[in-house]
Amino acid sequence: MNAESNDPPIFLNPDDDAEMEAAWKRARQTFRYFWRELAWEYRRIIPGLDMACVKVMFRDPPEIDHGDDPSVEHMWISDVQFDGQHVTGTLINSPGWLQSVSEGDDVKVKPGQVSDWMYAIANQVYGGYTVQLLRSRMGGKERKQHDAAWGLDFGDPTMVRLVPPDSIGAAPVKSGMLSRFFPAKQIPQTVSEVSKFEHPMSENMGDSLAGSLKEDPSFLTATDDRGFTFLHQLALAGSAKGVAVMLKHGADPNAVAGNGMTAMRLAKSLGWKKVMALLESAGGK
């Protein structure tokens, strides 16, 4: 999945931009909702996302002399993966100043380098903390040009949508011709509210997963190319319902993934408290 823009813009911000620093922090705090959506996207037969990308802070090593030019740039990556320790993907920006990375490079960074994330479903953008801040600082004409360049609906620049409304029991966003003239009112979402709900695919998987485990118990220990069991994958995606089913059918809560992490450590990496409680009750560490 790649961003729709030909070359997503790079913005420089002064070091003392408190609002931008707060946006970076909120993006890192809510990165789990990006990864949850993307983890389920990778399991869909028919793709559901229009795009998904993460903004990352890149810095050239000190031995590269930039003179008066910046040595740090915040740029977008696509084809994102996360293993509890590192975020990987493909750089989709062409650096303006940095010399150690180039557009198209495969990159690997720590979660602390994430400065934004966003994905789009049915043209509606979720996430985009820094993008919304920048849009809020634009005039109406500039904002329209910005949105047209992306080809996406970013909504109210003073709000960040975390998940689709129907994921938390609200009315789905209207689409179609009439929505251009009578757009649905955007309702603020809080982390505490969103955290009460499982991802819809997680909610609906219980019976089918239990049936699959009964038919083929070897699925409990099967691993993907990263050495992740399905329990590891579900723990990282925050699926409490899926983790509960796996544990009930005998999944080892202390099995170690290919990167040395247990399901508990994977859940902790994104702060999935419900999953952590289930694993702890099963003796997970």
CATH 1.25.40.20 fits 204-280, yes or no: yes
Q: How far is CA 59 from CA 22, 71, 131, in A?
A: 20, 6, 21
- In DSSP notation, 216-262 reads -GGGGT-B-TTS-BHHHHHHHTT-HHHHHHHHHTT--TT---TTS--
Going by C-alpha positions, the residue among 273, 263, 116, 84 that lies closest to residue 192 is 273
Q: How far apart are the first and last CA of the chain?
A: 34
Residue 16 pLDDT exceeds 80 = no
User: Closest Cα to residue 117, out of 157, 84, 77, 81?
Assistant: 77
pLDDT bin (cut points 50, 70, 90) of residue 188 is confident
**In the chain, what percentage of residues exceed pLDDT 70?**
88
pLDDT surpassing 90 at residue 278: yes
Name the CA radius of gyration of the chain, rounded: 20
pLDDT, tens digit (0-9, with 9 covering 90-100), for 119-172: 999 999 999 999 999 999 999 999 999 999 999 999 999 999 999 988 876 555
Work out the mean pLDDT of the chain and round it to a whole number. Answer: 89
Q: How far is CA 140 from CA 9, 19, 145, 156, in A?
A: 18, 20, 9, 12
* Continuous segment of H or E residues that includes residue 18: helix 18-29
| Average pLDDT over every residue of 59-67 | 82
Q: Which tokens is 200 given?
A: 């819809």
| Residue 227 falls in which region: left (phi positive, over 0), alpha (psi -120 to 50) or beta | left
pLDDT tens-digit readout, 205-226? 888 999 999 999 999 999 999 9
266, 251, 172: which is closest to 219 by C-alpha?
251
* 234 vs 230: CA distance, rounded Å: 6
Could you give the CA distance from residue 205 to residue 210 in angstroms, rounded to a whole number? Answer: 8
Question: CATH 1.25.40.20 in the chain, residues?
Answer: 204-280
CA atoms of 231 and 256, how far apart (whole Å): 10
Distance from C-alpha of 116 to C-alpha of 75, rounded to nearest angstrom = 9
283 pLDDT band, cuts 50/70/90, is very high
Angle at 35 between CA 30 and CA 41, to 5 degrees: 140
Greater model confidence, 276 or 189: 276
pLDDT bucket at 1, cuts 50 / 70 / 90: very low
**pTM more than 0.85:** yes
The predicted structure's pLDDT at residue 33: 97
Question: Does position 178 have pLDDT exceeding 70, yes or no?
Answer: no
